[in-house]
Amino acid sequence: MLAKPRLRDLKLICSYTGKVLIGVGLLMALPLLTALAFREWAAFVDFLVGLGAALLAGCALAWLGVGEGRPSWIHGMVTAGISWLAAMGVAAVPYWLSGHYLSYLDCMFDVMSGLTTTGLTLIQDLDHVSVSLNTWRHLLTFVGGQGIIVLALAFLSSAAGGGYPLYVGEAKDEKLFPSVLHTAKTIWKISLVYLAVGTVALWVAGMAIGISPLRALLHGLWVYMAAWSTGGFAPMSQNILYYHSLGYEVVTLLFFVSGSFNFALHHAVWRGERKEVFRNIETVSFAGSLAALTLIASWGLMRLGVYPGAVALFRKGFYQLISGHTTTGFMTLYARQLVLEWGDVALLAMILAMLLGGSACSTAGGFKALRVGILFKAIGQETRRLLKPGSAVFAQRFHYLGSRILGEAQVRSAALVVLMYLVIFALATLVGSLCGYPLLESAFEAASVSGNVGLSVGVTAASMPAVLKATYIFNMWAGRLEFMAVLATFGFIAAAVRRKGLA
């Protein structure tokens, strides 16, 4: 049971949450400058309001928590949980003022969808959205992929002292270096280098398919941000289908697959350890599940004669599948086509792909390939144990940035997180069904929100019930933070309420 929260605990949480909000506010400077450059004066004022609200809230919270020392684990976890909710509240201000949303709940849904790199959207009339608002949408998903706390740690250096609990609270436990500040900066360095390379690649690809240079640059930047963060947002309502181009689709595919890999794996490759790609339990697990699910989905689609040839099967079947498996959510078809044409087998393969997800310590969501690999290794170990004499002692090894011995703690931790994902998946499926949607469609959308994917069969719409929107917001938040921070937040609140007052 959690100890009774003291005033100092609250002040510490306020202090770090305030710094995260200041970070969110400062981020608004980018769309603000974009609005200035493109002379979008109404949007400029909207972003000034958003900036003012975020800075005021952030400074007020930081003022409340002045000088309360270093955060412990529980502070880190609770701060991570609360910061994401607070960031959702303030980042939604420019959305609401834009007039492209029907309610503030819809705005918060889209912010949480962006920050958690889910990619589902309730925006109205996306094809007429301003350049600055599109920049904000994609910036949120790019920053959310690396982590808003990683951002605060990397760029607001005063927040770095004792920052490891905050870093872990955001579901990133890979320390590339002993210093968490150094790790956070390296994650951003990797992402910014890829940002430059990816934007140029998509800019060239865009111009090659007939898009004017400025528009190709903007689309390249936005689509890259969504691809690398496995986000799934796009500037046009048709998503990637808008471009009608195999080449453009292949370039996006390369970047979202890269984004779904562990930052530690990227770092190892940067250091010259290229063999790690082929030996790492995550890449092996991901390749295995992708191959199996591609076979199942292809069989389902071919049986129904959905696509006329191999190219169409690749561009529609495989693209959607790998987009789902990496938890990206880019689409090259219409949402309702999945329900009306794909059939149950291919849809079930998609649901499984979305739940399995990408790599740990990446921008991807889902169970994560590391946990799936560990659980398969554990099943193998138990099978061997059953077949060998009781006195036999053996160790199960796996390769993850070096050879490791499989321990019970790793298996228990992996199984618990997978179980929690299944619980929130079941919850969202149940709420969807209770709201009147068919079971398979509810399950598809539930897998999409729980795994932070963003593919949709059409359930997600501004017209869906508010209770379903709230459930999906909860699932996106819990799925992105991988439950520890969420459980800690609820536990902290329960402890504070139960004890009636602070010490």
Partner 1 sequence: MRSGVLFLLLALASTCLFGQVGTAELISKARQLDGQEVEFVGEAIGESMRRGDYVWLNLLESGGAIGIWAKRADMPAIRFFGSAAARGDTLRVRGVFHRSCPQHGGDLDIHAAALEVVARGELKQETLHAGRMALAAGLLLAAAAVFLSWRAKQKAKDRA
- Provide the binding-site residues for partner 1, judged by CB under 8 A: 40-42, 45-46, 48-49, 51-53, 55-56, 59-60, 62-63, 66-67, 97, 127-131, 133, 209-212, 215, 236-238, 241-244, 246, 306-309, 311-316, 332-334, 336-337, 340-341
CB neighbours of residue 209 within 10 Å: 13
Side chain identity, residue 474: F
Q: At its nearest, how many Å lie between partner 1 and the CB of residue 235?
A: 9
Q: At its nearest, how many Å lie between partner 1 and the CB of residue 47?
A: 9
What is the dihedral sign for C-alpha 138, 139, 142, 148?
negative
Nearer to partner 1, 49 or 427 (CB): 49
Nearer to partner 1, 55 or 154 (CB): 55
Whole-number Å distance between alpha carbons of 160 and 235: 35
Nearer to partner 1, 151 or 335 (CB): 335
Whole-number Å distance between alpha carbons of 355 and 228: 19
Q: At its nearest, how many Å lie between partner 1 and the CB of residue 90?
A: 11
Q: At its nearest, how many Å lie between partner 1 and the CB of residue 160?
A: 16
Nearer to partner 1, 256 or 314 (CB): 314
Nearer to partner 1, 175 or 215 (CB): 215
Residue position matching structure tokens 């790199």 = 117
The two structure tokens encoding residue 493: 């609140």
Side chain identity, residue 456: S
Q: At its nearest, how many Å lie between partner 1 and the CB of residue 167?
A: 23
Whole-number Å distance between alpha carbons of 191 and 237: 26
The two structure tokens encoding residue 142: 């790019």
Whole-number Å distance between alpha carbons of 121 and 454: 8
Nearer to partner 1, 127 or 408 (CB): 127
DSSP calls for 85-102: HHHHHHHTHHHHHHT--S
C-beta separation of 424 from 475 below 8 A: yes
Dihedral over alpha carbons 117, 122, 128, 132 (to 10 degrees): -40
Burial of 465 (0-12, 13-18, 19+ CB in 10 A): middle
Nearer to partner 1, 215 or 279 (CB): 215
Nearer to partner 1, 150 or 313 (CB): 313
Q: At its nearest, how many Å lie between partner 1 and the CB of residue 303?
A: 15
Determine the 3-state secondary structure of 399 from DSSP.
strand
Nearer to partner 1, 49 or 200 (CB): 49
Whole-number Å distance between alpha carbons of 323 and 202: 17
The two structure tokens encoding residue 304: 């129904």
Nearer to partner 1, 240 or 468 (CB): 240
CB neighbours of residue 395 within 10 Å: 9
Distance of CA 45 to the CA centre of its chain: 29
Q: At its nearest, how many Å lie between partner 1 and the CB of residue 258?
A: 23
Nearer to partner 1, 318 or 376 (CB): 318
Q: At its nearest, how many Å lie between partner 1 and the CB of residue 292?
A: 23
Residue 221: which H helix or E strand, with range?
helix 213-228
Read off the DSSP letter of residue 304: T
Integer CA distances (angstroms), 289 to 191, 314, 317, 348, in order: 26, 17, 16, 14
Q: At its nearest, how many Å lie between partner 1 and the CB of residue 131?
A: 7
Q: At its nearest, how many Å lie between partner 1 and the CB of residue 212?
A: 6
Residue position matching structure tokens 């949709």 = 456
Burial of 405 (0-12, 13-18, 19+ CB in 10 A): exposed
CB neighbours of residue 474 within 10 Å: 18
Q: At its nearest, how many Å lie between partner 1 and the CB of residue 288?
A: 27
Q: At its nearest, how many Å lie between partner 1 and the CB of residue 240?
A: 11
Nearer to partner 1, 119 or 479 (CB): 119
Integer CA distances (angstroms), 185 to 157, 161, 239, in order: 10, 14, 31
Beta strands at 403-405 and 397-399: parallel, antiparallel or unpaired: antiparallel
